[in-house]
Amino acid sequence: MDEKRDFLTLQDISSEEFHLIIDRAAAFKSGADASSCPLIGKSIGLLFDKTSTRTRISFQTGIYQLGAQPIYINSKELQLGRGETVEDTAKVISLYLHGIVIRTYEHNMIEKLAANSSIPIVNGLTDLHHPCQALADMLTIREQKGALKDIRLAYVGDGNNVANSLIEAALLTGIDLAIACPRGYDPDRRIYENALKKGAKVKLYTGPEEAVQDADAVYTDTWISMGQEREAARRKQIFKKFQLNKELLSLAKPDAIVMHCLPAHRGEEITSDVLDSPQSVVLDQAENRLHTQKALLEMLI
């Protein structure tokens, strides 16, 4: 039996594996292997602490298309809610399932789950990382620009889990990543410094204009993530100069694509005329969650 593999961050796969996943996802998307059911007879749990649209539906659909059974699990309905430990829960669930996708808050929760399970654990999102989104983002950029290496991607806004995973994607792909955040809202320092040490082309800016200059793709995300609602008014004030609007987009290349992982708060981090413009590829990103996650699960399970 092969040793089990987890996918908690993009650091869990090599650059070669990253590109294999993207290639396989493109094949799934083309329909060339539509009849393939490599996971027939398997059961995969979807353990969610956070509400979701794209993550839940794309994983449920993809698991079904791969021939496996998706089992949605609300963590509040488990014995976790009555005090059973994560460690004990992981050991028991491993007896029934062939893999678990988890969407939760604290990253150390999925690390505990992975350390105590005998089946693959996939990070559907934590407060620190969003690696499945980064896979879809890289497929989208490659589709639109024909390559990843040396493509200039500008990310503007909160240095959140999406930004952290884009940094790790830059290390694996050779993409040129410029990140602009207000002071004090940078991506995780350890993730950033680790990527720099390993040769990633990533640079941090405190103003959005310099980051977006001559970019091939401009990316933003919500300023207020789940669990930060109490900070909404303060964050809106701090981030207002980082809005992705027509004026900011005009600094990028004329054929630059507009990216957002959704849900979008129109009129806050992005204006509707930019989000709905011909340059926007946000729906491609959303669709590509399905294909890249299918490729990932096929590799792991």
Q: Residue 286 in contact with residue 62, Cβ under 8 Å?
A: no
Report the alpha-carbon angle 136-141-146, nearest 5.
130
Catalytic site includes residue 144: no
Check 130, 152, 260, 291 and give the catalytic one.
Answer: 130
Check 127, 137, 221, 284 and give the catalytic one.
Answer: 221
Please give the helix or strand (H or E) that residue 293 lies within, else none. Answer: helix 282-300
Catalytic site includes residue 289: yes
Catalytic site includes residue 230: no
Catalytic site includes residue 235: no
Check 235, 261, 279, 285 and give the catalytic one.
Answer: 261
Check 24, 142, 289, 291 and give the catalytic one.
Answer: 289
Residues 6+ apart with CB under 8 A from 36: 66
Question: Residue 281 is which amino acid?
Answer: V
Can you tell me whether residue 47 is helix, strand or coil?
Answer: strand
Question: 191 is written with which tokens?
Answer: 């993730």
Catalytic site includes residue 103: yes
Check 133, 243, 279, 293 and give the catalytic one.
Answer: 133
Catalytic site includes residue 133: yes
Question: 69 is written with which tokens?
Answer: 């059974």
Q: Which residues are catalytic?
A: 103, 130, 133, 221, 261, 289
